[in-house]
Structure 1
Amino acid sequence: MKQIEVAALVLIDDNRVFAAQRKNLGPLGGMWEFPGGKLEVGETGREALVREIQEELGVTIEIENYLLRVEHQYPGFFIIMHAYVGHIQEGSIQLHEHQASRWLKKHELWQIEWAAADIPIVQKVEQLLA
């Protein structure tokens, strides 16, 4: 079984969290997620996240803290996801890899269809938002 290790960004601003919708490709097409991506060989989660967010969203971020680790079995692969809270240091978000994005308030978190591995992160974010 294929195993992948990824890092995800929980971007909170003005009591809202950023969510990105995957393009309609592959088994998770159209699902909503926290942006991020795969760790490359020798890369830490923090390093991967800074690189991936620059590639996916065109912004420079600063990571504030580690939030949690999620392990999830999808059909065909097993994912280990490291979620970090961070903020934008420089730039404006531009979607390079996603088809849509939203800034969600606490009461809006469950109005979109999250990828299964992101759900534990959403539950944690619910506690972070006032």
Structure 2
Amino acid sequence: MKTIHVVAAIIEKDGRVLATQRGYGDFKGGWEFPGGKVEPGETEEQALVREIHEELDARIVVDRHLCTVDYDYETFHLHMSCYLCSLAEEHIDLIEHTQARWLDAATIDSVDWLPADISVVEALKDQVL
């Protein structure tokens, strides 16, 4: 089974985290933490900064590693490194997503998370929210 190495940004602001709804692909409509594939020669942090700029036209500061999730989807294995981040500026533009929501401890379960992201939500409940 093919392994895909991705990074995800858990962008924090005022006790809330940013969730985005996919606007494309097999998982269109599902909610996730934004991010994407790590390209050859990139560090995870570099990939995260690049992906968030491409997906949200936003600049972030990568603060610290939160967790790593390994999840088997039907056609591939996902290896996802998740980092707590903050916005370097307030600007966000949804380029590849249809919606975004800021969620706190009371609302974190209000969206339909993609399967791999459910583990990240649990880590957030234990460590952050």
How many residues align? The count is: 128
Structure 2 residue aligned with 1:59: 58
Q: For the aligned residues, what is the CA RMSD? A: 1.0
TM-score (norm 2): 0.95
Structure 2 residue aligned with 1:105: 104
TM-score (norm 1): 0.94
Q: Secondary structure at the match of 1:123?
A: helix
Q: Secondary structure at the match of 2:47?
A: helix
Per the TM alignment, residue 27 of structure 1 is displaced from its structure 2 partner at its CA by: 2.5
Structure richer in strand, relative to its length: 1
State how 1:1-130 maps to structure 2 within 5 Å: 1-23=1-23, 25-127=24-126, 128-129=128-129
What are the superposed Cα offsets for residues 29-73 of structure 1, whole Å, 9 maximum, x if unpaired? 110000000000111110100000011111111111011110000
* Structure 1 unpaired stretches of 5+: none
Structure richer in helix, relative to its length: 1
Separation in 1, partners of 2:47, 2:88: 16
| Aligned residues with identical type, % of pairs | 42
* Structure 2 unpaired stretches of 5+: none
